[in-house]
Amino acid sequence: MQGRADAEIVRLVFDLTENLQHRYEAVAAEHGLTRQQASLLGLLDEPRPMSTLATLLQRDASNITGLVDRLERQDLVRRERDERDRRVTLVARTASGADLHARFETALYGSGLPFSALSEDERATLLSLLTRVV
């Protein structure tokens, strides 16, 4: 019986993951972004080194350079030198990038999430359970 329950949990988690990935990509596209661009903008609550972005996004540094180049051409991010170490290039959101990211998050986390059907207590329980297993 345990094996069947585990198999069902795995199937449901995969289905949920796929649902959320499709939603993320669709909302990003509605805002003129790729999934990677939206993810990068989401990491810029503060300026970050490009090497940190590569690590967090699990991408090669050369991929991050191209990604930042495209976002910079759209005036969504800017490069700046780290005051503490002038060899380090930081990436920061511009005002336009912050505005776009806020609109993206509002659309992403608004209605339509699979969790919408859950009560506040049920969402808290789900969060607690997911935190334990992830």
HEC secondary structure over 68-86: HHHHHHCCCEEEEECCCCC
Domains of the chain, start order: 2-133 (1.10.10.10)
pLDDT of 17-56, one tens digit each?
999 999 999 999 999 999 999 999 999 999 999 999 999 9
Reduced to 3 states, what is the DSSP secondary structure of residue 127? Answer: helix
For the entire predicted model, the pTM comes to: 0.85
